[in-house]
């Protein structure tokens, strides 16, 4: 296997990169079975190059029974047949590099699948076996061990423990099909360093680390101490999240990453109680970036956004890590729907995000302005939290519907077969084909914004934003190179002086006059 390193060499490329998340099931279907796959991804890489992103993060495509859409990995070194083969993965990496795109793959170290060889061996070899030491097997409480060993709850609902026929219980912070590894065990540590090397040797440019805050559990697995059900990926202080021991793991991983040329990176999905705790994952000998969920969770409110922006930048400064920004991903309601203001607000939010210093993460389909699909029938849902939770909160199928590429009806060019989740009947106008060339479309707005980020590197540069005076509810800030971003976060138009020449607008408007009206839910980029 010859790793491909012909992507443009650049030091610290990731510091202001725009990274596009591909959710393989739902991006493009190359073999017509209704499920997206690696061949589909490969065929659409030129689209991503033309969109103007720097890197592509691929959600898991590894061998998996798909109890949690691939976040239950049975074999970290092989590809699930539904997505293709290892040569297909190599072809995606090679082709991406040829197009000057970097590839980040998902690494799932907190847990594996219950079909992983180690777990199956642990089940077969029984209590007291060395195979069980690689997981968290315990005797239960109660007279006959019929109660779980502690009160931990799964993030998907219900107890975090499942009892096996011989009477022991095993820990799973997510679905019962996702047993947690015991990261105190040297074999687990060695295995993941080896998995890192396997993918680095294949040429990947980095890893997105799933549940990076969860690997180490508090000694003795103490009760979490309250009976309230956890919300998915909450950021409470908990005995199974954000334990100090995780940092030793990331130091050892950084040493592996640094053995390789070409600035290979790792980005943490780390939910911690504070941004300062998140920054600890980004010390110079640990990981490179972390998702900024504080920003993602900030509502459409000028003061709250300004606070989130400043505090995010402040928190990362001591460790000299770039701040990241994200509005949508495969676990949350799409921002067009979540922010409550429709497409205008979503587009304004995007231009605001792309003018901030640091790196930005996009989720497939947001460049088409896709809304959350909120009316999926129960019988098609696949999110494991749907089956374990009584409420509708945290359901994640609505943002995972296959994206529309072309044509008038489903599957809208997704592939030659159907789609694993049904697409809405009114998505024809949202397809890539329908939006291409239409200057008012969301796709062309993203293309224009990403092109400007390349010609005006000041947009992603630096570690601060310089706030400018602005009417109540309007955010205005200057970026290096004399670029100004103004955003009306209110529901009413605002009047303000034009700071210069208009470069880009999140919606069409006439800004030729000196003193102009900035409509509600609108963001503008200016050159002074
Ligand atoms: C992923 C989810 C997944 C969970 C368990 C995450 O945070 O983003 O999609 O269900 O980890 O692996």
Nearest CA to ligand 1 atom 5: 71
Catalytic (active site) residue 210: yes
Question: 273 pLDDT band (50/70/90 cuts)?
Answer: confident
Q: Is the predicted pLDDT of residue 4 greater than 60, yes or no?
A: no
All domains in the chain, ordered by first residue:
13-112+185-451 (3.20.20.80), 117-171 (3.90.400.10), 465-527 (2.60.40.1180)
Nearest CA to ligand 1 atom 4: 71
Nearest CA to ligand 1 atom 12: 71
Mean pLDDT over 174-181 rounds to 97
123 lines ligand 1 (CB under 6 A): no
The Cα 7–Cα 22 span in angstroms is: 19
What tens digit of pLDDT does each residue of 422-448 get? 999 999 999 999 999 999 999 999 999
Q: What is the radius of gyration, based on Cα positions, of the chain? A: 23
Atom number of ligand 1 nearest to Cα 108:
12
211 lines ligand 1 (CB under 6 A): yes
Pairing state between β 206-209 and 102-107: parallel
Contact 113, 76 (CB under 8 A): no
49: Cβ–Cβ under 8 A, 6 or more apart, which residues? 99, 100, 101
The Cα 44–Cα 51 span in angstroms is: 11
Mean pLDDT over 65-82 rounds to 98
Measure 293 CA to ligand 1 centroid, in angstroms.
Answer: 14
Q: Is the predicted pLDDT of residue 275 greater than 60, yes or no?
A: yes
Per-residue pLDDT at 394: 54
What tens digit of pLDDT does each residue of 385-404 get? 777 655 555 589 999 999 99
Catalytic residue among 100, 146, 259, 393: 259
Per-residue pLDDT at 155: 87
What tens digit of pLDDT does each residue of 361-377 get? 999 999 999 999 999 99
> Three-class SS of residue 123?
helix
174 lines ligand 1 (CB under 6 A): yes
Measure 274 CA to ligand 1 centroid, in angstroms.
Answer: 20
Please state, for a pLDDT cut of 70, what percent of the chain lies above it: 94
Element (H, E) at 49: helix 45-51
Look-up: residue for tokens 């061949």? 39
Per-residue pLDDT at 446: 99
Ordered alpha helix ranges (H), 355-420: 384-388
Please state, for a pLDDT cut of 90, what percent of the chain lies above it: 88
What tens digit of pLDDT does each residue of 18-52 get? 999 999 999 999 999 999 999 999 999 999 999 99
The Cα 352–Cα 291 span in angstroms is: 17
Atom number of ligand 1 nearest to Cα 71:
12
- Exposed/middle/buried for 8, CB within 10 Å: 0-12, 13-18, 19+? exposed
Measure 159 CA to ligand 1 centroid, in angstroms.
Answer: 17
What tens digit of pLDDT does each residue of 443-489 get? 999 999 999 999 999 999 989 999 999 999 999 999 999 999 999 99
Ordered alpha helix ranges (H), 339-472: 342-354, 384-388, 432-435, 442-455
What mean pLDDT is reported for the chain?
94
One-character DSSP codes across 443-481: HHHHHHHHHHHHH-GGGG-SS--EE----TTEEEEEETT
Catalytic (active site) residue 72: no
* 269, two tokens: 């999905």
Pairing state between β 494-497 and 515-518: antiparallel
């Amino acid at each position: 296997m010859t790793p491909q390193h012909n992507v443009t060499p650049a030091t610290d490329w990731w510091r202001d990169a725009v990274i596009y998340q591909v959710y393989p099931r739902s991006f493009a279907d190359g073999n017509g079975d209704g499920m997206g796959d690696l061949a589909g991804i490969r065929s659409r890489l030129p689209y991503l190059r033309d969109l103007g992103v720097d890197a592509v993060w691929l959600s898991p495509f590894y061998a998996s029974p798909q109890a949690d859409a691939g976040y239950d990995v049975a074999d970290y070194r092989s590809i699930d047949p539904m997505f293709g083969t290892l040569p297909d993965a190599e072809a995606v990496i090679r082709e991406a590099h040829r197009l000057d795109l970097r590839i980040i793959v998902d690494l799932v170290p907190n847990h594996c699948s219950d079909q992983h060889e180690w777990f199956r061996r642990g089940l077969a070899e029984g209590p007291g076996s060395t195979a069980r030491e690689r997981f968290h097997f315990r005797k239960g409480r109660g007279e006959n061990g019929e109660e779980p060993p502690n009160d931990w709850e799964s993030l998907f609902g219900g107890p975090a423990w499942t009892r096996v026929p011989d009477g022991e219980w095993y820990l799973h912070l997510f679905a019962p099909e996702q047993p947690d590894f015991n990261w105190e065990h040297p074999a687990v540590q060695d295995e993941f360093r080896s998995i890192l090397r396997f993918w680095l040797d294949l040429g990947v440019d980095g890893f997105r680390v799933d549940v990076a805050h969860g690997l180490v559990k508090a000694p003795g697995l103490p009760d979490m101490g309250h009976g309230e059900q956890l919300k998915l990926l909450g950021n409470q202080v908990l005995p199974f999240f954000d334990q100090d021991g995780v940092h030793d793991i990331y130091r050892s991983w950084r040493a592996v990453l640094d053995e390789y040329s070409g600035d290979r990176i790792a980005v943490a999905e780390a939910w911690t109680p504070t941004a300062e705790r998140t920054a600890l994952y980004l010390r110079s000998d640990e990981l490179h970036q972390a998702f900024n969920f504080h920003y993602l969770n900030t509502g459409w409110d000028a003061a709250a956004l300004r606070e989130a922006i400043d505090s995010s930048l402040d928190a990362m400064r001591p460790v000299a890590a770039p701040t990241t920004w994200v509005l949508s991903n495969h676990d949350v309601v799409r921002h067009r729907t979540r922010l409550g203001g429709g497409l205008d607000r979503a587009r304004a939010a995007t231009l605001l995000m792309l003018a901030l210093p640091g790196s930005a993460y996009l989720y497939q389909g947001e460049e088409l302005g896709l809304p959350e699909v909120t009316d999926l029938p129960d019988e098609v849902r696949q999110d494991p939290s749907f089956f374990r939770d009584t409420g509708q909160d945290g359901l994640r199928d609505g943002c995972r519907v296959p994206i529309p590429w072309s044509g008038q009806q489903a599957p809208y060019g997704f592939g030659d077969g159907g789609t694993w989740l049904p697409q809405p009947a009114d998505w024809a106008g949202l397809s890539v084909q329908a939006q291409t060339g239409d200057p008012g479309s969301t796709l062309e707005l993203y293309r224009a914004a990403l092109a400007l980020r390349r010609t005006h590197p000041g947009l992603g540069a630096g570690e601060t934003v310089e706030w400018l005076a602005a009417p109540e509810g309007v955010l205005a800030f200057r970026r290096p190179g004399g670029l100004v971003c103004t955003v009306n976060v209110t529901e009413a138009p605002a009047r303000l002086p034009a700071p210069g020449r208009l470069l880009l607008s999140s919606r069409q408007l006439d800004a030729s006059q000196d003193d102009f009206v900035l409509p509600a839910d609108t963001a503008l980029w200016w050159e002074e």
